[in-house]
Structures are given as structure tokens and as C-alpha cells.
Amino acid sequence: MSDGETTSNSGDGQRKVFVKTYGCQMNVYDSQRMADALARDGFVETDAPDNADMVLLNTCHIREKAAEKVYSEIGRLRQLRDRRRKGGADMMIGVAGCVAQAEGREMIARAPAVDFVIGPTTYHRLPDVVARARGGEKVVETEFAVEDKFEHLPRQQARRVQRRGVAAFLTVQEGCDKFCTFCVVPYTRGAEVSRPVAQIVEEARRLVGAGVREITLLGQNVNAWHGEGADGRSWGLGELLHELAGIEGLARLRYTTSHPRDMDDALIAAHRDLDVLMPYLHLPVQAGSDRVLKAMNRRHTADDYRRLVDRIRAARPDIALSGDFIVGFPGETDDDFEDTMRLVRDVTYAQAFSFKYSPRPATPGADMAGHVDEQVKSERLARLQALLAEQQAGFMQQLVGKEVSVLLEKPGREPGQLVGRSPFLQPVICDETVGKIGDIATVRIGRASANSLISEPMQRRRHAA
Ligand code: SAM
Ligand code: SF4
């Protein structure tokens, strides 16, 4: 069955699937690819569970209570299904993502309403899993797949790509071999795997052919990506970005998330040499104390990170830096935390994410001595977030009065507005007369709010995309 064909069981001629995505961009991409796989089976996407023939929860396990949230959601869905059954309809419940991977068969035992559980490396088997579940089997598909899932997932259809907008994600790397002691990813996503160059370039061309202007390459450790290039040499992400930059019609490239140890010279040079590579880099450091970094198994020091940032800024002075921070890792003292504050002051971030340490089952951090009191974690997080917010506001303010290019992505909240992104990733609210969706408009920033920039209506200019 081809994309968009339907089979009937919902009364209006279409089987509907509601996919609920938790967590990171990689899950957003996975949800899209699962929806593509289900489209071949006649499912169309719906934006509410109430009228869905199938609800698929694409879960995240990165921090605490993730599994509990999923079980509560399943409880609500079971009640919804009971109501649908009274009306003569039905609803299948599937759980995907990292909670599915971590819980496996346990999930069916604890929540018998679940029809199937599928882990992140086996999404290409989704149609088969659904067919077996429809036959009454409780399916658990959480073995790490040996075959290449991307080889077997259906290609993205132009119509579906267009519906998703002009900025797209493209996963190039999955899994992680780094084993930071706080993190579940190596256990839920498995070992590091890089997609081959040809497969990535083909997918990028398809996206651009369907109207995509900006591609963000994704990976748990995207800059650990490596593959054999067209010249037979082993390529890193820098070389891959050069290859993709040659795709006609592609206006912007980004990548996330990077590990400091994998920022090699070629990747740093790409920030200097490639105009399409946007001046934004998410480069998590997690902590500013060498003792804590060692306990986290990050395998670099705070000064290594400072020097790396200097090299990146030498290559691309206007780059907007973003990061991730964890406060209250086991054994973190007041002095260790002050080291984190000092690092943040030294580096200056345009934007950042910060979290209280959350012990994850089966990770070494969970069994370490010296767990930090919740109250102390909250106080440290509040101080760190205040500093990061101040830096973010400073970054936004220095753009006021300047001209920036904006990729126009969608209508704004108010009539007459369009919203796009600056090169530095902030949302920019523009007057709709600056261009149409998919254009790159140059606008002057009139003012900044906490999280977005507002363009100056009187001094706009427009140029063709
Ligand atoms: N691979 C990326 C790196 O090494 O920086 C991070 C990927 S992880 C999915 C995203 C972020 O979640 C991490 O950078 C970290 O700040 C946060 N995180 C992961 N495990 C955590 C935990 N146990 N408690 C709190 N935050 C956590
Ligand atoms: Fe998790 Fe560390 Fe791997 Fe990032 S590098 S995914 S934080 S184990």
C-alpha cells in the first residue's frame, strides 16, 4: 500500500494514529519516521487521541518519573479505549522510545492495556509488530536490531515532508559509547552507529526537493559521526557538512548534540568555511568542576572545554553557544558548584538547558555515595538558571538594532505575522510582508522578549530565497 492509502475502520474511511512524542529532537524525528511507516499501512495522523484507532507513545527516559508519567498516560488511554469500545470502535495502544526499551516485557505485565512495546532500534519492524498485535499477540520488540533500520524504513514522501515545514531533522547517528555515569542513553539507545554518507545525502536531497530549506543533523553524539566518503577516506562530521552544503536549494545546516571530545579540527574549520552552517553550537559541558567531570566520566577538564570554546570562537567569532548542565551530581560540593558558575561566566552562553541530577536505574551515578539533598539541588539550579537567563537576555539584547536573516517557518500567533528563526536559533516574529514561508528575509530587530526577537516593521527588507 502506498503513502496515504487508507483502510476503513473508523467510520469515516480512515484509520487514524495519534503519535505523542516526549523528549528530544531525535524522538521528534523517530515519530515522523514511524508515522511514515504506518502511512504505508493505511494510517493517517490525527492530532488528538479521542478519535484515534491507534495511540503510539514515543517515550523518553532521560530523567526521573519518565516511566511513571508513561504509566499514568496509559491509564488515561485505557479509559478512553473503554469509552470507544462502548461506542463500537476500538483503539490500539503502543509504546515506543527509551522507556519502552528500558521496561520491555515488564511494561505489558504492569500495564496489560498496552498492545505492543517497541524499542528505538526496531522501528522499521513497526508494520509487522502492529499486524501481530492486531492478531491478538502482546508484542515486545526490544532486541537491539542488527539490520540497519534506516535501510528498511520507507522513504519520506514529498507531501508528508511539506506538511512538516521548511526546517527538518535528519538523524545521522544513533546510540552512544561514552557511558557518562549519569546517563541512560548507552543502555536504551545501544552502541554508537553512524548512517552511511550516501544514505544521508539521498535523504537530504529528498528533503530539499520537497521544499525543505534548513536541515538539522541529529545524533546523541552527532559529532562522533563517521563514515566512508566518496573519496574512499574516512570522513567526520566536518566533511559530511561540506558534502551537504553542496546541495542546491539547501539554505541552512545545523547539527546537535555534540560532545566536547569529538569537536575535531575539520568540524571547527567548517564553522569558518561554510556559510550555510549556522553560527550556533550546542556543546554540553554538564559541570565546571574537574572532580565532578571525572566522576561523570566526561573525560575532559573544565579548562579543556574553555580552550575548545576559544578555538571555536577563533574560527567563528559570532557563534552562539548553548549547553547542558547538571547540578547536584553525587559528591558535588558548594565549591564544585561555584566552579560551574565560574565556567558559565567565563564562557557566556546564548542559551542553555540545566537540570537537577536525577538518578537513573542501572547507571553508575545512581550507586555513588554523596547524593545531594533535593533542597540544595533546587537552590543551586535556581542560581545557575538566573545566571543563564541573564546571559541569554544579554545575547538577545545585543541583536536589537541589528539586521539578521530569518528563515520564515510558519504563521505567527497574531494575524499578519510570520515566525522564523535567526541564524542563532531564536524565534523571530516578523511582519508577513517580509516574505513567504520558506524565504530567507533580512529584518532589523526592534526589540527582544525573554525567548524571542521582534523585528522592526518599518525597516524591513526582503530578498529572494
Ligand atoms: N550526548 C549529549 C552530551 O553528551 O552532552 C547529551 C544527551 S542527553 C540526551 C541530554 C541532556 O540530558 C544531557 O546533556 C544532560 O544534561 C541531561 N541528563 C542526562 N542524564 C541526566 C540525569 N540523570 N539527570 C539530569 N540530567 C540528565
Ligand atoms: Fe549520555 Fe554521555 Fe552519551 Fe551524552 S555522551 S548520550 S550524556 S552517555
Q: Is the CB of 260 under 6 A from ligand 1?
A: no
Which pLDDT score, from 0 to 100, does residue 352 have? Answer: 97
Residue with cell 564553522: 271
Q: Which three cell numbers stand for residue 321?
A: 553557544
Q: What is the per-residue pLDDT for 458?
A: 38
**Looking at ligand 2, which atom is closest to the CA of residue 184?**
1
**Which ligand has the shortest distance to the CA of 187?**
2
How many helices and strands, by DSSP H and E, does the chain display? 15, 21
CA gap 350, 145 in Å, rounded? 39
418 pLDDT higher than 90: yes
**Most confident listed range (20-29, 32-41, 189-198, 385-394):** 385-394
Burial class (CB in 10 A: 0-12, 13-18, 19+), 355: middle
pLDDT of amino acid 244: 98
Of 4-8, 107-111, 114-118, 317-321, least confident by mean pLDDT is 4-8
- Please write the tens of the pLDDT for every residue from 373-385: 999 999 999 999 9
pLDDT band at 160 (very low <50, low <70, confident <90, very high): confident
**Residue 122 clears pLDDT 50, i.e. is over it:** yes
Place 7 in a pLDDT band, splitting at 50, 70 and 90: very low
Specify whether the CB–CB gap between 213 and 245 falls below 8 A.
no
pLDDT tier for residue 150 given thresholds of 50, 70 and 90: confident
Coil, strand or helix at 294: helix
Check pLDDT > 50 for residue 11: no
- CA 114–ligand 1 middle distance (angstroms): 28
Count Cβ atoms below 10 Å from residue 284 Cβ, excluding itself.
20
Q: How far apart are the first and last CA of the chain?
A: 36
Q: CB neighbours of 454 closer than 8 A, spacing ≥ 6? A: 428, 429, 445, 446, 447, 448
Which residue type, as a one-letter code, is found at position 297? N
Mean local confidence (pLDDT), 354-362: 94
**CA of 296 relative to ligand 1 center, distance in Å:** 11
pLDDT of 462 > 50? The answer is: no
Q: Please tell me if the CB atom of residue 305 comes closer than 6 angstroms to any atom of ligand 1.
A: no
Establish whether residue 261 lines the binding site of ligand 1, counting it when its CB lies within 6 angstroms of any ligand atom. no
pLDDT tens, residue by residue, 297-356: 999 999 999 999 999 999 999 999 999 999 999 999 999 999 999 999 999 999 999 999
Binding site membership of 286 for ligand 1 (Cβ less than 6 Å): yes
Ligand 2 mutation target, pool 184, 218, 220, most atoms within 8 A of CB = 220
Q: Which atom of ligand 1 is nearest to the CA of 178?
A: 4
Q: Is the confidence at residue 293, as pLDDT, over 80?
A: yes
- Distance of alpha carbon 90 from alpha carbon 9, whole angstroms: 9
Q: What is the pTM of this model?
A: 0.92
**Full 3-state SS string of 186-208:** HHHCCCCEECCHHHHHHHHHHHH
Peptide bond into 7 cis (omega under 30): no
Residue 157 pLDDT exceeds 90: no
202-227 as b/e, with b when 16 or more CB fall inside 10 Å?
ebbebbbebbbbbbbbbbbbbbbbbb
Condensed to tens digits (0 to 9), the pLDDT of residues 184-216 reads: 999 989 999 999 999 999 999 999 999 999 999
Instruction: Supply 400's cell numbers.
Output: 536589537
Report, as an integer, the average pLDDT of 265-293. Answer: 98
The residue-averaged pLDDT of 119-133 equals 93
Place of cell 502492529: 130
The CA distance from 139 to 132, in Å, is 7
For atom 14 of ligand 1, which residue has the closest CA? 324
Judged against a pLDDT cut of 90, whether residue 148 lies above it is answered with no
Contact 8, 14 (CB under 8 A): yes
Whether the pLDDT of residue 461 is over 80: the answer is no
Residue 386 has phi, psi (to 5 degrees) of: -65, -45
Report the chain's mean pLDDT, rounded to a whole number.
92
Q: Which ligand is nearest to the CA of 330?
A: 1
3-state DSSP percent of the chain in helix, strand and coil, to 5: 40, 20, 40
Tell me the average pLDDT across 412-431. Answer: 95
What is the pLDDT, as a whole number, of residue 146?
67
Distance (angstroms) between ligand 1 centre and the Cα of 177 equals 14
Looking at residues 144-151, what average pLDDT do you find? 80
**Distance from the CA of 192 to the center of ligand 2, in angstroms?**
11
* Mean pLDDT of the 170-180 span: 95
How confident is residue 372, by pLDDT bands cut at 50, 70 and 90? very high
Minimum-distance ligand 2 atom for the alpha carbon of 176: 3
Q: What is the pLDDT of residue 41?
A: 86
Ligand closest to CA 178: 2
465, pLDDT greater than 70: no
Task: State whether the beta carbon of 176 lies less than 6 angstroms from ligand 2.
Answer: yes
